[in-house]
Structure 1
Amino acid sequence: MIDLEKTVLILLAAGRSSRFPNGNKLEQEFLGRPVGLHVAVALEDMPFLDRIAVVDGSTLDYGAHGFRVIHNDDQAAGMSHSVGLGVAEAKRLGAEAVLIALADMPRVTAAHIYRMLDAADSADAVVASSDGAHPRPPALFARERFDFLMALEGDEGARRMVRAGRHVVTARAELVDIDTPEDLERLRTLVHSPPHSVARPSPTIGDAGV
């Protein structure tokens, strides 16, 4: 088991939302809260060594949920660049592991994250989430994987590493990610949450979103 208090949470909240024509998908309402804040709130009471949100342009206030914000100013470099930014900071802090989560997965729970930490048993551990068929984020990487993650230039290398790692199975509904308006409507239907307006927090300097 890897110690939670020596693990850095990296929340990837930078991206173009290219398949979401109505604005940044992380700012869309779901169950009375923007999509992109659900996982931040769900993991808020977990005593991570640090919390880092890698962002690029939304108005979501991750700082209010204990995150330090790092800006990805090179969206064209893809998700691997965001990962590298977060992992480099975790390495500087002397972390034993990083937990990489996506801000567009609003149903992830703290209970699942604790099970992932229990499954990590070495300094080179890789533990991913799974619905029983496909590994996916959130994923945990122990410190001996940091240099590899920082050197990534595409997503395929990380996918191969995740497929070869340990997989912690949870309910398919917990691992839903929001890529399109249709995804969001299906999730609202699943939990009986009709769309409605939600009060937005005032934007703060240095906050952004996937």
Structure 2
Amino acid sequence: MIAAEATALVLLAAGRSRRFGDQDKLSIDYLGRPLGLHVVVALEAVRFATRIAVVSGTALDLGAHGFDVVANDDPAAGLSRSLRLGVEQAMQRDIEAVLVALADMPRVTAMHVWHMLDYAEGPDTVIASSDGRAPCPPALFGRTHFDALLSQTGDTGARDLIRAGHHMVASPDELIDIDTPEDFARLTDA
């Protein structure tokens, strides 16, 4: 088990949303709240050591929700740049792990994150979520992997680490990732 109090939450909210069109997808209304705040509210009960949001081009005020906000001034450099910025900020604290979550996954639950933390076995931990077919965020990385997270490049993020780690299955509905207007339509129709 890794305690939440020894874990940094790194919320990635700096994607360019090219497939979604011209609007800030994280700010669109979903059930009376901006899409990007659903995961924030869902994880409020988890007592992370620190909460870090890596942002670019969103109107969301994540600082008002207890996040240290880090600006990604080059989102075109890919997901790995946001990951690196978040992990660098997290490493300024004495933490054992980082939990990487995406702001465009509005149905992630605290219960799923608690299961991940309970299953974790120390600094070598890599636990990714899975819909039973493919691994995805949220993902938990123990301290041993911080340097590897910092060395990632491009838009693949920590994909290779995630593939090699343990995969914790959750409902596909919980792990929906909103990348396109069609994804959002499926979310609102469900």
Q: TM-score range by the shorter chain?
A: over 0.9
User: Matches of 1:83 and 1:22 in 2, distance apart?
Assistant: 24
Give how far 1:156 is off: 4.1
1:112 is matched with which residue? 112
Partner in structure 2 of residue 169 of structure 1: 169
For CA contacts below 8 A with separation 6 or more, give which structure has more relative contact order.
1
What per-residue deviation string (whole Å, max 9, x for no partner) do you get for residues 183-209 of structure 1?
A: 11111000xxxxxxxxxxxxxxxxxxx
Cα separation, 2, equivalents of 1:49 and 1:178:
27
Q: Measure, in 1, the Cα distance between the counterparts of 2:93 and 2:155.
A: 25
**Which residue does the alignment assign to 1:137?**
137
Tell me how far 1:47 sits from its aligned partner.
0.7
- Aligned residue for 2:139, secondary structure, equals strand
Report the alpha carbon displacement of residue 141 of structure 1 after superposing the two structures with TM.
0.3
- Please tell me whether the aligned partners of residues 44 and 66 of structure 1 are also in contact (alpha carbons under 8 angstroms): no
Task: Give 1:188's aligned residue.
Answer: 188
- Report % sequence identity: 59
Q: Distance in 2 between matches of 1:27 and 1:189?
A: 19
CA distance in 2, matches of 1:175, 1:38: 13
Rounded Cα–Cα distance in structure 1 between residues aligned with 2:157 and 2:86:
17
Deviation at 1:122, TM superposition (A): 2.2
Deviating 4+ runs (over 2 angstroms): 154-157
**Paired residue secondary structure (2:116):** helix
CA deviation profile, 1:42-85 (whole Å, cap 9, x unmatched): 00121100000000121111112111100000112111011001
Alignment of 1:70-81 (within 5 A): 70-81=70-81
> Could you say which structure has the larger radius of gyration?
1
TM-aligned CA deviation for residue 117 of structure 1? 0.6
Matched, 1:68 2:68: yes
Residue 22 (structure 1) shift: 4.4
Q: Does 1:124 align with 2:138?
A: no
| Unpaired stretches in structure 2, ≥5 consecutive residues | none
Q: CA RMSD in A?
A: 1.1
SS of aligned partner of 1:73: coil
Structure 1 position 154, deviation (Å): 2.5
Q: Is 83-92 or 100-109 further displaced after alignment?
A: 83-92
Q: TM-score scaled to structure 2, two decimals?
A: 0.97
Q: Which region of structure 1 is more displaced relative to structure 2, 120-129 or 105-114?
A: 120-129
**So what's the TM-score if we normalise by structure 1?**
0.88
Q: Secondary structure at the match of 1:64?
A: helix
Count how many residue pairs are aligned between Structure 1 and Structure 2: 190
**In the TM superposition, what whole-angstrom CA distance separates every residue of 1:94-117 from its partner, at most 9, and x where no partner exists?**
210000000000000000000001
Q: Is the 8 A contact 1:119 1:166 kept in 2?
A: no
The answer (yes or no) to whether the contact 2:37–2:106 under 8 Å persists in 1 is yes
Could you tell me which residue of structure 2 aligns to residue 196 of structure 1? none
Structure 1 unaligned blocks of 5 or more:
191-210
| Aligned position for 1:5 | 5
